[in-house]
Amino acid sequence: VRLVKANGPDPRHGVHFPQAVTTVAFSEPSPQRPHHDGWLAIGGFAGMVGLYSAKTLKEIWRRSVSAQNSAMTCSAFSNSDPEEAAELWLALGTQDGSIHTLKMPASSAGCSEQAVAKGQILKGHATTVFQMQFAEGVPAQILMSVSVDGNALAFDVPFGRRSPSVSICKDLVFRPWTLPVGWPVVGCWGNSSARPRPDRSADLVSLPERYFCQAPHTDMMLATDETTNSLQIFP
């Protein structure tokens, strides 16, 4: 994994990971402590996960988290606690539909491998997990996930429970929104027959490969389409 700054490649060169890399995530810095040491998570093709200091790139923890060696397909950190009192959660989606969770301190500074603990394995998806996002809030609790068949689920991560309905996410804040299914992106799917719905399993064999991101401080939504190599902007 090679790190790149806005003005060019990072002189630290990056991190060597022993498997083909399939997902990477950075923890969000605390607004009150932007220079504190965050986390870098790397997931591999055969189920391995590595955690590193985002500042020094020192390896802190590396394990195979999938007993079936299922590929990691996406990853997401929970929001950082401004006071760094609450612990941080990392969710890791896999090709077999499972979501693995890890718990760690908000800052990686001075941490050893004993600081990282495995949480519950979240179940419910019948196909590969495509994208995930934590709702805002401290301590972190609700994770929304979408699989490649367009099915959206919600989980209470600390308790390892699947919520009865994804509708509990409707009044929560996800900023910036990045999921391909959900109320903020319903209008971004032009063809109603190919529009996934957040309140039930989609009738799709496979979710179209579109990636969404809400523009900062606005309701504007950006969408990229891998099939047409296009970028769309929705007001």
Q: Which amino acid is at 114?
A: Q
Nearest CA to 76 out of 159, 161, 4, 157 is that of: 157
Most confident stretch, 52-61, 190-199, 206-215: 52-61
Residue 12, pLDDT > 70, answer: no
- Of 112-126, 162-176, 194-208, give the lowest mean pLDDT range: 194-208
pLDDT tens digit sequence for 40-54: 999 999 999 999 998
* Percent of the chain topping pLDDT 90: 46
